Amino acid sequence: MLTRLWKVDKSVDRLITYPQIVEAARILTENEVVALPTETVYGLGGNAESDEAVARIFAAKGRPSDNPLIIHIANLNQLAEIVREIPETAEKLMAAFWPGPLTIILDKKVGKLSELATAGLSTVAVRMPNHPVALALIEASGLPIAAPSANVSGRPSPTTARHVQDDLDGRIAGIVDGGPTGVGVESTVVDCTGETPVILRPGGVTKEQLELVVGEVLTDPALTDSKQAPKSPGMKYRHYAPNAPLYLVNGDASDIQKLVDEKRGEGLKVGVMTTEENQHSYQADVIFPCGRRAQLETVAEALYDTLRAFNESDVDIIFGEIFPETGVGVAIMNRLTKASGFPIIEVAE
For 158-188, what is each residue's pLDDT tens digit?
999 999 999 999 999 999 999 999 999 999 9
Please check if 240 is assigned to a binding site.
yes
| pLDDT(237) > 60 | no
* Stretch 5-28: mean pLDDT: 95
- Give the architecture-level CATH label for domain 246-346: 3-Layer(aba) Sandwich (3.40)
pLDDT for the residue 65: 77
pLDDT for the residue 275: 98
| Out of 104-108, 236-240, 303-307, least confident range | 236-240
* Stretch 215-243: mean pLDDT: 71
Q: Strand, coil or helix: what is 3?
A: coil
Please check if 63 is assigned to a binding site.
yes
Q: Of 308, 48, 38, give the one whose Cα is nearest residue 178.
A: 38
pLDDT digits (tens, 9 = 90+) for 257-310: 999 999 999 999 999 999 999 999 999 999 999 999 999 999 999 999 999 999
pLDDT for the residue 225: 61
Query: Has domain 4-223 been given CATH number 3.90.870.10?
Result: yes
Please check if 72 is assigned to a binding site.
yes
pLDDT for the residue 88: 97
| pLDDT(227) > 80 | no
238 band by pLDDT with thresholds 50, 70 and 90: low
Give the integer Cα–Cα distance in Å for 267 and 159.
33
Mean pLDDT, all residues of the chain? 94
pLDDT digits (tens, 9 = 90+) for 35-76: 999 999 999 999 999 999 999 999 999 977 778 999 999 999
Domain residue ranges of the chain, discontinuous segments joined by +? 4-223, 246-346
Please check if 149 is assigned to a binding site.
yes
Give the integer Cα–Cα distance in Å for 264 and 48.
49
Q: How many CB atoms are located within 10 Å of the residue 345 CB? A: 17
Question: What is the radius of gyration, based on Cα positions, of the chain?
Answer: 20
Please check if 127 is assigned to a binding site.
yes
pLDDT for the residue 235: 54
Q: Of 288, 298, 302, give the one whose Cα is nearest residue 327.
A: 298
What is the CA angle 23-28-29, rounded to 5?
100
Cβ neighbours for 48, distance < 8 A, ≥ 6 positions apart = 54, 69, 71, 82, 113, 114, 117, 143, 144, 145, 146
The reply to whether 4-223 and 246-346 are identical in fold is no
226 band by pLDDT with thresholds 50, 70 and 90: low
| pLDDT(228) > 90 | no
